[in-house]
Structure formats: C-alpha cells, structure tokens
C-alpha cells in the first residue's frame, strides 16, 4: 500500500513538474502530457497540489529578482531555478515590484552603484527591504549592501547591512582562489569561490558573522539580509540559495 502510494506520488509529481522529472534543472523542458484521468483531475485541484508538492518543492511559489545591471546574474538565476523557485532579471523599480526577494550578484561595485542610482533601483530596493523583503548580496552585492566601505567614504552603497567592508581584501583578480568555508548552520562546508573578494571588518550589533575564512569574516546575516564575500552561484551547491529562500 505504502509502495503504491509512493509510486503514485512520484509519478504524478514528476509528470506535472518537469524540473523534478529531468536531470538538468536549469534547461527549459516541455511539460509532459498527463496520461491518467485521475491524475488529470487531481493535479488541477489546488488542495492536492499543495499537499503533494509542498514538501518536495517548498520554494515553488517564490519569485526572486536578480539585479541584472552588470555581473554574473545569470548564474544566480540558474541556482534559484535549481531550488524550484522562479527567478527573473531585474533592472527597473517596476520589475522589482514583481518579485518577493532580491539578489545582488558579483560584479563591479562602483559601476553598479552608479547605475542602480540612475535607474532608480537603489531607492526601490531600500524601500522594499525596509518593508521586509529578503535580500542577498554576493561579493560586489555584499559591498553594495554595506553601511561603509573602508577607505572609500564617497563610494555609494545601500546601507542595508550594518557592516564595514574592505574591497579586494584577498588581492587582485590573479589572486582569485577556491577553498572550503565552514558556515554556521551547515553541517558540511561550502566551496568558497573568491574573486577580488571583500571581507567584513566591522560588525554592527545586530549582525551575525556566519562564516569565516582564514580568521576573516566572509559571510554575515542581519535579519532577512544575507551577505557573502564569495560566489556560491559559481558552484553546483545550492544550499546557500536554499538558505536564502528560507529567510
């Protein structure tokens, strides 16, 4: 009985949700046509959908906006989709209104800071975060979220995390490296990809350091705001994306 129920559930869910039915979770897949009449009836019933899918795809109703002004935004979109949530590129305040949470990717903080202000995205982000929207910045994204940038008092930042960051703290592009980074709350370390990465040199009272590398703070959380010096979107590991979706 239990076997039959499990088989039925897997069959139904895999057919209805192409992401579960395929190895590659990032490439677009044509939906599979339903074959069972019972399945047809049940799969259109919202109560059944909630009951059947929620434990397997807990993030399916979420829509993440990745700030797509410059940098590696496409990689974040793939990682979020691999978690089962939706992800879209965001370049305007109007596009930001269509999402539940946002990611600022890696890139060049001086350029993105200037353009974010020009496009009105900076103000829109600040308003949404003040209203409780979760946000995550990776590398340049964390610099953009900081309250202060060491040695660059005139560089624009969003002041969403009460931290001071030091840019390029591990050296230039040629000094990029990868290494294991243990994070509070994850049993296994993540692979940290550090590319002209910043470190956190001051933590405000309400900010928690959740990851250190070589004694330096490289991951922080303040309420629903997350910042990492490194690039989880450049690895196949989606645990940090799942962490963000659960905030």
* Residue 227 CB, nearest approach to ligand GLN (Å): 12
Residue 105 in contact with residue 73, Cβ under 8 Å? yes
139 or 183: CB nearest ligand GLN: 139
151 or 215: CB nearest ligand GLN: 151
- Note if 139 is an active site residue: yes
Residue 202 in contact with residue 113, Cβ under 8 Å? no
* Residue 226 CB, nearest approach to ligand GLN (Å): 15
Q: Which of 172, 184, 171 is closest to 217 using CA atoms?
A: 184
- The whole-angstrom separation of Cα 15 and Cα 11 is 6
* Residue 107 CB, nearest approach to ligand GLN (Å): 5
Take residue 166 and report the two structure tokens written for it. 């030091």
Positions in the binding site for ligand GLN (CB under 6 A): 106-109, 139-140, 143, 167-168, 195-196
50 or 175: CB nearest ligand GLN: 175
139 or 199: CB nearest ligand GLN: 139
**Which residues face 103 on adjacent strands?**
66, 136
- Note if 233 is an active site residue: yes
155 or 242: CB nearest ligand GLN: 155
Measured CA angle at 223 (ends 109, 171), to 5 deg: 30
CB contact set of 224 (below 8 Å; sequence gap of 6+): 129, 132, 133, 134, 135, 247
* Residue 16 CB, nearest approach to ligand GLN (Å): 38
- The whole-angstrom separation of Cα 85 and Cα 211 is 25
End-to-end Cα spacing for the chain = 37
HSE on the CB side for 71, CA within 13 Å? 33
Measured CA angle at 185 (ends 182, 188), to 5 deg: 45
- The whole-angstrom separation of Cα 139 and Cα 106 is 5
Which of 16, 139, 225, 241 is the catalytic position?
139
* Residue 179 CB, nearest approach to ligand GLN (Å): 15
Q: Which residues are catalytic?
A: 139, 231, 233
């Amino acid at each position: 009985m239990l076997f039959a129920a499990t088989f039925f559930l897997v069959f139904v869910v895999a057919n209805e949700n192409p992401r579960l039915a395929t190895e590659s979770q990032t490439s677009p897949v044509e939906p599979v046509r339903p074959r069972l009449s019972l399945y047809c009836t049940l799969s259109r019933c919202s109560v059944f959908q909630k009951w059947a899918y929620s434990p397997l795809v807990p993030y399916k109703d979420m829509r993440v906006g990745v700030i797509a002004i410059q940098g590696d935004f496409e990689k974040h979109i793939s990682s979020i989709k691999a978690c089962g949530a939706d992800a879209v590129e965001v370049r305007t305040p109007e596009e930001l209104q269509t999402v539940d949470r946002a990611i600022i990717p890696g890139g060049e903080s001086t350029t993105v800071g200037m353009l974010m202000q020009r496009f009105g995205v900076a103000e829109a982000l600040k308003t949404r975060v003040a209203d409780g929207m979760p946000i995550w910045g990776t590398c340049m994204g964390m610099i953009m979220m900081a309250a202060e940038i060491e040695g660059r008092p005139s560089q624009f930042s969003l002041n969403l995390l009460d931290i001071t960051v030091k840019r390029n703290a591990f050296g230039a592009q040629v000094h990029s490296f990868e290494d294991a980074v243990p994070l509070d709350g994850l049993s296994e370390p993540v692979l940290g990809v550090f590319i002209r990465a910043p470190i956190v040199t001051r933590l405000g009272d309400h900010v928690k350091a959740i990851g250190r590398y070589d004694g330096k703070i490289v991951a922080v959380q303040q309420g629903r705001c997350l910042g990492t010096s490194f690039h989880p979107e450049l690895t196949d590991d989606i645990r940090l994306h799942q962490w963000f979706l659960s905030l």
